[in-house]
Structure 1
Amino acid sequence: MSERINLGKSAPALYQAVMNLEKLSTEVIASAGMPVGFAHLLRLRASQLNQCAFCVRMHTRDALSSGESSDRISVLPAWRETEYFTEKERSSLALVEAITLITNGQVSDAVYEQAAANLSKDEISAIEWLSIVINAWNRVAISSRYPVKA
């Protein structure tokens, strides 16, 4: 495998702009009252779908250090089949997945209506921004081939 350009080093101003988006989205998440650990689960789920090993490892560690259980982390890829998540969390996960997989039918009315039924407008906005930002990070890490060594 050939070495890739590290986007963070090749265009530091653009990288910093994404960092600023991360900071702002984290503030929106906090102001919406979303638990930090669950926000990391949402980032983790998007990273799993995008197959971003660097971000999967990072957000697994972040979720654990924020108090999320190893059980909830372990079942995250199959969350629909479990009773580990509340209706609000299930709506949040569905919305993150729809935004991450936006080319597969956009964000359907059904997903958005489920979110609107279970989440406040502030929570929906926070989840949408979280999704946009983690998807940007996934693309930075994957295209740069950030190393994931044991």
Structure 2
Amino acid sequence: MTEQDRFFLDKSDPSSWRAVNAFSRKVGAAAEDAGIPASVVELVNVRVSQLNGCAFCLDLHVRKAEAAGVTAQQLAVLPAWRDTALFDAVERAALIIAETATLLPD
């Protein structure tokens, strides 16, 4: 895919882009208020980005996950998280919810 083929929501519909970002900030604040570690939030963000096939989001959230303490090994096996003992019960629960919500049928 070339740069010209990419869809940029921020350029095509700035008001929708602002709304999506505002929603994302609210969800992030709610997760923080609930005591959910940033590492778990970013694991979820990386997995959802993998499922959605969004290279921009993957790049962003992999970097944020690493900064939050997610290991390179966890990131490497994330698509097969069910088959490894690298994820604790909280991370597994978050990944189940994330995958279920992301893969809901149309």
> Does the alignment reach a TM-score above 0.5?
yes
Q: 2:41 aligns with which of 29, 39, 42?
A: 39
After TM superposition, the structure 1 = structure 2 runs for residues 8-47 of structure 1, keeping only pairs within 5 Å, are 8-47=10-49
**Partner Cα separation in structure 1 for residue 17 and residue 40 of structure 2:** 25
Figure out how many residues of one structure are paired with residues of the other and give that number: 104
Paired position in structure 2 for 1:114 = none
| Counterpart-to-counterpart distance in 2, 1:7 and 1:45 | 21
The counterpart of 2:85, out of the listed 83, 86, 95, is 83
1:37: how far off?
Answer: 1.6
Query: In 2 relative to 1, CA 68–4 (structure 1 residues): closer, same or farther, beyond 3 Å?
Result: closer
RMSD: 1.7
- The structural deviation recorded for 1:6 is 2.5
TM-score between both structures, scaled by the size of structure 2? 0.88
Residue 72 of structure 1 aligns with an amino acid whose one-letter code is Q
Structure 2 partner of 1:67? 69
Q: State the alpha-carbon separation in 2 of the partners of residues 39 and 91 from structure 1.
A: 12
Q: Normalising by the residue count of structure 1, what TM-score does the alignment of the two structures yield?
A: 0.64
Structure 2 unaligned blocks of 5 or more? none
2:5 and 2:94 mapped to 1: Cα distance?
A: 37
Larger radius of gyration: 1
Distance 1:63 1:26 in 2: 14
Structure 1: which 4+ aligned runs deviate by more than 3 Å?
1-5
Q: Give the Cα–Cα distance (whole angstroms) in 1 for the partners of residues 87 and 99 of structure 2.
A: 15
Query: Larger relative CO (CA 8 A, sep 6+): 1 or 2?
Result: 1
